[in-house]
Amino acid sequence: MSEVIRLTTPLTEEDVASLKAGDQVSLTGVLYTARDAAHKRLVALLDEGKELPFDAKGAVIYYVGPSPAKPGAVVGSAGPTTSYRMDAYSERMMEVGMKGMIGKGKRAGDVVDAMVKHKAVYFAAIGGAAALIARSIKKVDVIAYEDLGPEAVRRMEVEDFKVVVINDTNGADLYEQGQERYRKE
């Protein structure tokens, strides 16, 4: 098993350039949450020349709509959602400095190309492990689009949030590598 790489957000270009598809990463710091409805609004703000509700430089966006917190907890289950729904908005977010995305599932080829161009990475969080993932989340605040309920933009403070690099800044794809390895075996 490979060594876990520990990174603190916001991520730098050097941070993401050092990552390779398949690397296990532990993130500490701030993640922002946004799903497709929020991304549509965020990109509309950018297209109107307005500011985002958070600093996108070095940001990592987690594609999640957490369930309500139980008494005494900061968040409910917080598992990743399928990432392709954000593909139409991803390059625009990378253009303004986003360095990481967390979700599940494969990304479109043009999004992988944009990661190479803008030096960003795509991480996978483990689907089906939402309650375990929530343990890494220490604080959550809604910062925009409260009307979207679970899909509102949130600022999450995380500690030792485990992810795996799926797509790196060189265009490598862990899913494709895994399929290729399987074909050879």
Among the listed residues 125, 130, 150, the one whose alpha carbon sits nearest the alpha carbon of residue 24: 125
As a whole number of angstroms, the distance between CA 166 and CA 174 comes to 5
Cβ atoms of 153 and 36 closer than 8 Å: no
Q: How far apart are CA 64 and CA 92, in angstroms?
A: 19
User: Which residue in this structure is represented by tokens 């409910």?
Assistant: 76
* End-to-end alpha carbon distance in the chain: 19
* Catalytic site includes residue 118: no
- 35, 39, 106, 107: which is the annotated catalytic residue? 39
Q: Helix (H, G, I), strand (E, B), or coil: what is residue 49?
A: coil
Just list the catalytic residues. 39
